[in-house]
Every structure is written in structure tokens, then in C-alpha cells.
Amino acid sequence: MPLVAHNNLPSFNRLRGEGVKVLAPDAAVHQDIRELHIGLLNMMPDAALAATERQFFRLIGESNPIAQFYVHPFTLDVLERSEKAQAHIDQYYETFEQIKQQGLDALIITGANVAGPDLSSQVFWQPLIEVADWAHENVTSTLCSCLATHAVLEFRYHQKRVFQGEKIWGVYPHNLVDKSHPLVVDVNTRFDVPHSRWNAVTHAQFKQANLKVLAESDDGCVHLATSPDGLRTVFFQGHPEYDTISLLKEYKREVMLYVEDLRKDYPPFPDNYFGVFEKALLNEYRLRVDEAKQNNLDIPVFPEALIDYRLDNTWHDTAGEVVGNWMGLIYQVTHRDRKKPFMEGVDPDNPLGL
């Protein structure tokens, strides 16, 4: 069940402080428990790099299977980084070549910043395809988050994401549409998921690609799906890994863009996230910001400290259950030799026997 702090990555200490079980390597070697090695391809921008580590590490570390989890973060060299972020990567991250040499039991691919609507023109496009194709052949299961889902749907299943006109931003209720799949065993049949995106792959596109849709929102927006075999690729279109304050941080960032005249309109509230008190406080702040801008006064401090402790998290327990089920399935079918995806006798085209 515990994470193993196999290097000095600061996220391990942060998670210890939150109560997540993290073992030191010398303690781990004395436990007769099987290891699982999980890769984290972290493509998030510098400001979200460490937070994304913690979010996915936390979900893995809190999952239920009896295993020791070694999480191996890496990124793509083509992504431009600040000096501070690059130093963090150089000190704590592994290279893709090292990942390939040691092998993985599972892989998580995060989202990334995108310039323009066309994914295939992004600097990370070809390197991402290389990682995803390697994992498809050599790793038991790959979990794709948000933009990574859109990318894999495009280059592997020829389903190009659709611009939505308005940003899908907030916390939305979802329903299980396939309650029998092992990934959603004991998961709430109705649960919330945060989303933050301008684009979508539609239900019809998932079906056209012959993918298994497991959960979608009331308006048919797919959140959770899998490849036809049920395990080789798992797709999240939302962000169940988000912290309670993640959308608050995003809202603050958008407000600051408005303050700096980098955004023309004042940002709307994320859907279904702030309560009546928080909205009133933020509306008052907006009036103070506009007054300050009009009169060339100092911009007031964003009231984050008055809001963050009041926010509700209505998605983390279900996210933990899904990731826990995913870890359990990988544990059951993965070969002990990490360079072989499946145990002998497991059908790669139907590893779960569905």
C-alpha cells in the first residue's frame, strides 16, 4: 500500500506531512511485498509541475492494493522550462531512456500547456507519440489525463477533439454507464469530477473508436473510458486528481491576467464550485479591482486565505477508488519482470477476461 521514497523528491515529504504513508527504502526492503513501478510523464507547465506530482502520487499512495509503489517522474526534453524548474527536473526526474531500460508496470501521462488549437503542431507531439507507443507495447496499462486523452484519441484512434466555444470549467456530476467493469467496482454510481478545458472528445467519437465508456456527465460528456480490451489504455477527460483548491488557483490566475490587461473580460466563476459566501466575497473583490484599475490605485490582495478553507471536495474519494481498482488490476495481471507487460497465460487482447 505505501509509496516508497526512493529518491529525495520534495513531494515525498509534503505527502508525509499530509498523512500519506511513505516508506524509506531501507524499510521497504524488509517487507515481503511486491513492488509496482509507475511512470509519471509530467508535461505540466512549471507552476503546476510539483503540484501535479503530489496529486498523482497521492492517488497512487492512497490506493488499496497490497504493494509498494515506486513512482518514476520524467518529462519531455522539448518542453521549455525555467531555470528553477529545470533544476528540479535535473535533480529528481529520470530520463525516458532510463525509464525504457528499467521498464514500468504502469504509466500515467498528464496534460500540458497548448499554444493554438492544433495538437499535432505542438512541440511535444512527436515525443509524446514515441512515449505512448512504447508504453502500448511494453507497459501493462497507461492512464491518460485530459489533454493526453485528446492526443491519444487523435493519433491512435483518429478522433480529433472539438472546440467547445465556451470553457468547460468547474465541478460536474457524472454517472456510471457501465457498472460491471472492474475499474469501477464499488465506485459511487454518481460522483463529481473537476474539468478545465476548451475542447472535448464527444461520446460519439469514443464509440466510433470502439472504446468502452464507463462514466459520463448528465449532458453526455465522457469522463472515464478504456481501450477495447478494458485495460491497456485508461482515459480521464476530467481532472479527478485535482486538489480542493486547484480550481481556486486557476480562477485566481485568470483574475490576475485581467488585472494585468492580458485578458479583456473578467473571468466567470467555475461551475458548481464556489458557494454563496465565496461568490459574494469574490464579487466584492471584483468591484475593488475595477475601482483600483480605473483610479490607478494598488490592486487589492486576492482573498484566497478567506476562501480556500471553505471549499468542498466532492470527488477525491471516487478518484481514489478508481485509481485503487486500476492498481489492483495491474497487480493481478502484470509480469514480475517489468519488461514483460503481462503474466504468462494472460491474453493481451483481453487481459481482464471481459
Nearest to 25 by CA among 41, 9, 14: 9
| Backbone φ, ψ for residue 146 (5° rounding) | 50, -105
Q: Residue 119 in contact with residue 154, Cβ under 8 Å?
A: yes
The single residue of 150, 239, 254, 316 carrying the catalytic annotation is 239
DSSP 143-202: EEETHHHHHHHHHTT----EEEEEEEEEEEEEEES-TTSGGGTT--SEEEEEEEEEEE--
> Cell triple for residue 16?
508525509
Q: Residue 121 contacts by C-beta under 8 Å, 6 or more apart in sequence?
A: none
Q: Which three cell numbers stand for residue 273?
A: 464550485
Given 6, 62, 144, 146, which residue is catalytic?
A: 146
Task: Please provide residue 343's backbone torsions phi and psi, each rounded to the nearest 5 degrees.
Answer: -60, 155
Residue 72 bears catalytic tag: no
DSSP secondary structure, 22-63, as one string: EE-HHHHTTS---EEEEEEE----GGGHHHHHHHHHHHHHT-
The gap from C-alpha 131 to its chain's centroid, in whole angstroms, comes to 17
Point out the catalytic residue in the list 154, 241, 254, 321: 241
**Helix (H), strand (E) at residue 108:** strand 106-109
146 annotated active-site: yes
221 in catalytic set:
no
Active site residues: 146, 239, 241
